[in-house]
Structures are given as structure tokens and as C-alpha cells.
């Protein structure tokens, strides 16, 4: 565990004119971002940072650390909206026992939501000049932890376990390594992702950057919302092929069952926390530039005023990124996946001093360090899964970050 803090925090939030493009205001290295359809938050600098100790109590530790930071702060907030006042960006490892979970309170936060915009500063934060974007070229790729044939063999082994009755579903991920001709400017990746995938949540926390379609939880007052995605097919070659693929996905017994498993896991996690919960009877299609997903939007009202981190703790890992039943799926992942996921498929997002916030699952993402990036993609493996088709699905999911790197 490590903690750094400018203490106590002196925080001021003021209304500002519309910044139009939040991402274009990021000054340089180490940006923080959570943006969808041009709205959200971006930040830079560090007023406080904590490396969250691994273990089953990590979310409780994170909540207590944030409470100590926010409760001691002097806050002048003339906006009073979710995301105003002090905000912490965070990302957690997929595995509770893995190191690398991080919380950071930026020194400067610029936000835009519901026709309003505001600027939050902590301490004596200056106005950093925006440095020119630097575009990396000559991107080359190499195998990650497993080659494609090796990963397909692991998928086949997982299918045999499922058919043998060991479990219903397991999510197996794979990684891909990318190298550029110079240091990768995360702001370039964010700009490309936000432009191409406006329906997704474009994020950046401590070198983890991506555009996730999956909203784990949005917490505002007592209201919560979660977008469940499970069941995927690549986009078609044209409108007719696209429509046919969407209909095939909706009709797919394998994908519908995979989606049901994910929805049930979310419902079971949220029910104890909620006074009311609305779960759709059937999924809809979420169409993105590279893939189509089965999607269900779950909404509810919390019964006890819990923090968004309490909801995150109850929900992670969902069946959409782990499997069913969860404990057995996690055991199979450790046995077959052959890699450390790090923060891939873990919770990523932000929380303010009121406990409001938005957290997604870190999908369609990469860990960026210098001139290198480690890309991730995962697939839900069922009894009817075909290793060749699952590899094709993983490759389709890699394309989001490959586009971000290559343009």
C-alpha cells in the first residue's frame, strides 16, 4: 500500500463556459478521463493517490480512504452536481488478490453534463498549457501470453469442462502486444476512441485506456443503473448482412443463455442493496462500429444510501467477465487463461465526495507504458462454443484499440 496526499485538500468548483471538447483540454501526459457523447470528466495532476492493498476488503478500504480524504477537505462547490467538488478516478484489478488497484484525486477536473460545465481545482493547481498531440507510427504486434492456436486449445478445454457439467460459462481473455516508434500519447487514443465509439465510455486511469460499452453502475442519489452486455457478433459487410447478423444473435440459444447468466448475476448482486429493482424480460441489440451485443438496462433504487463503491463491490465480477457459477469460473480462468489480467475486466470509473459516480468494466482497453501497449479481449465460452469462432470474436474486439493506435 502507498498513499500520497496534499492534505488537507482545499477544493473549489466554479461554473465555466462550455469547453466543447473535454479531451482537447488535456494538457499532456497522465490524463484522467471518463467521457461519453462529449459529456463527462477529464482531469490532470495529482492531489491525492493511493495504491489499494489487495484482498477481499479492498473496496471497503478504498471507501474508508476516500472518506478520510474528502471529510477533511475544505470544499467550496457552487455547482452541486454529481461530479462536482473533489472527485477520485479509480481502476481495480480483476483479481481481488492481485496488486495494482489505484485511486487518484486529480488537481484539476473539467466536467460537462446536462448543459452545464464546471472546473474543479485542488490546492494551488495552475493552468497547464496544452501540449501538441504526438501521433505514434509504425505499430507492430506480437503474441501476448498465448499464441492464437494455444488460446484456441484452452477454449476447447473449457468447452469440455462445461459439457462435463463442471460449470455453465467461463470467460477466457487473451492479450496482444503492440509496439510503436515513439512514446504513445494517450490523448490521441482517447480522441480516436471517443470519436469512433461515442456510445461507449472512453476512459483513462493511470495508463489504462479504452472505450468500454459496459456500464457496471451509475449512482446518483439513491438511483442506480447498470447496462448488462453478454452475447456478441461481429458487424456485417453491409446493411443487409448487418441486420441478418443482429437477428441471428437475438435468436442464438447459446448467446441468449450467456446473456441470461449475466443478467441473473447482476440481479442477485443488486437485490440485497435495493428497495426497488427493474430487470428487463428480454435483451435488445447494442450496435457498435465493430460488434453487436445483447444488452439489458437494469435500474433500481438503493435502500440504504450506499456509496457507489459498495455497489461495485457487490457486483464485481459479473458473469459477463467471469462466468457462472462465479467461484468455479474464476478457478477455471486461473487454470486455463495463462495470463495475469491486471486491471482488464476490473471496475474503472470515478466517485465524488457525495458517493455518486459512474463505473464501468474495463473492456476494449489497453495498458499503455511508453512506446508499448498491451491489448485485451475476452469471450464468453459456453458448451456450444467453437474455438475458431471465439478467436474471431476476440480479434473483432481487439479492433477498437488497434484503431486507436493506428488511426
Which are the catalytic amino acids? 169, 214
Q: Give me Rg for the CA atoms of the chain.
A: 20
Give CA–CA dist 238/295, Å, rounded.
Answer: 22
Determine the 3-state secondary structure of 210 from DSSP. strand
Q: 253-270 and 308-315 are packed helices; what angle lies between their axes, rounded to 10 degrees?
A: 130
238 Cβ partners below 8 Å, 6+ apart? none
Residue pointed to by grid coordinates 490524463: 31
Could you give the count of Cα atoms lying within 13 Å of 205 in the half-sphere of its Cβ? 34
Which helix (H) or strand (E) segment holds residue 4: the answer is strand 2-5
List, in sequence order, every residue forming a beta bridge with 339; answer none if it has no partner.
none
- The secondary structure element, H or E, covering residue 290 is none
Over the range 17-53, which residues count as b (16 or more CB within 10 Å of their CB) and which as e? eebeebbebbbbebbbbbbbeebbbbbbbbbbbbebe
Provide φ and ψ at 8, rounded to 5°.
-75, 155
Rounded distance between C-alpha atoms, residue 273 and residue 304, angstroms? 7
Residues 6 or more apart in contact with residue 193 via CB below 8 angstroms:
200, 202, 209, 210, 211, 400, 403, 404
Helices (H) and strands (E) in the chain, counts: 8, 24
Amino acid at each position: 500500500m502507498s498513499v500520497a496526499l496534499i492534505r488537507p485538500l482545499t477544493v473549489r468548483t466554479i461554473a465555466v463556459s462550455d469547453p466543447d471538447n473535454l479531451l482537447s483540454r488535456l494538457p499532456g501526459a497522465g490524463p484522467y478521463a471518463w467521457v461519453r457523447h462529449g459529456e463527462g470528466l477529464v482531469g490532470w495532476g495529482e492531489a491525492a493517490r493511493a495504491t489499494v492493498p489487495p484482498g477481499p476488503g479492498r473496496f471497503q478500504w478504498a471507501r474508508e480512504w476516500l472518506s478520510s480524504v474528502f471529510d477533511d477537505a475544505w470544499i467550496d462547490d457552487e455547482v452541486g452536481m454529481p461530479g462536482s467538488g473533489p472527485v477520485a478516478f479509480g481502476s481495480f484489478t480483476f483479481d481481488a488478490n492481485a496488486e495494482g488497484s489505484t485511486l487518484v484525486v486529480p488537481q484539476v477536473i473539467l466536467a460537462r453534463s446536462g448543459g452545464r460545465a464546471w472546473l474543479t481545482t485542488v490546492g494551488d493547481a495552475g493552468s497547464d498549457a496544452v501540449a501538441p498531440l504526438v501521433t505514434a507510427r509504425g505499430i507492430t504486434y506480437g503474441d501476448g501470453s498465448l499464441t492464437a492456436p494455444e488460446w484456441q486449445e484452452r477454449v476447447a478445454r473449457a468447452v469440455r469442462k462445461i459439457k462435463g457439467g463442471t460449470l455453465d460459462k467461463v470467460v477466457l481473455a487473451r492479450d496482444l502486444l503492440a509496439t510503436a516508434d515513439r512514446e504513445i500519447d494517450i490523448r490521441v487514443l482517447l480522441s480516436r476512441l471517443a470519436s469512433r465509439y461515442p456510445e461507449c465510455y472512453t476512459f483513462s486511469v493511470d495508463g489504462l485506456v479504452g472505450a468500454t460499452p459496459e456500464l457496471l453502475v451509475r449512482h446518483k442519489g439513491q438511483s442506480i443503473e447498470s447496462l448488462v452486455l453478454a452475447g456478441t457478433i461481429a458487424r456485417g459487410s453491409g446493411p443487409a448482412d448487418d441486420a441478418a447478423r443482429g437477428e441471428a444473435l437475438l435468436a442464438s440459444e447459446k448467446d441468449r443463455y450467456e446473456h441470461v447468466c449475466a443478467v441473473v448475476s447482476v440481479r442477485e448482486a443488486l437485490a440485497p442493496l435495493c428497495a426497488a429493482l427493474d430487470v428487463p424480460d428480454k435483451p435488445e441489440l447494442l450496435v457498435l462500429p465493430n460488434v453487436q451485443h445483447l444488452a439489458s438496462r437494469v435500474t433500481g433504487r438503493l435502500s440504504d444510501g450506499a456509496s457507489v463503491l459498495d455497489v461495485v463491490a457487490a457486483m464485481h465480477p459479473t458473469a459477463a467477465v467471469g462466468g457462472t457459477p462465479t467461484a468455479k469460473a474464476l478457478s477455471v480462468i486461473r487454470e486455463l487463461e495463462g495470463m495475469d489480467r491486471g486491471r482488464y475486466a476490473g471496475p474503472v470509473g470515478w466517485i465524488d465526495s457525495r458517493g455518486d459516480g459512474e463505473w464501468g468494466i474495463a473492456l476494449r482497453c489497453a495498458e499503455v507504458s511508453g512506446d508499448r501497449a498491451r491489448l485485451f479481449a475476452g469471450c464468453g465460452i459456453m458448451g456450444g462454443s467453437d474455438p475458431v469462432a471465439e478467436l474471431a470474436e476476440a480479434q473483432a474486439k481487439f479492433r477498437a484499440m488497434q484503431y486507436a493506435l493506428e488511426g
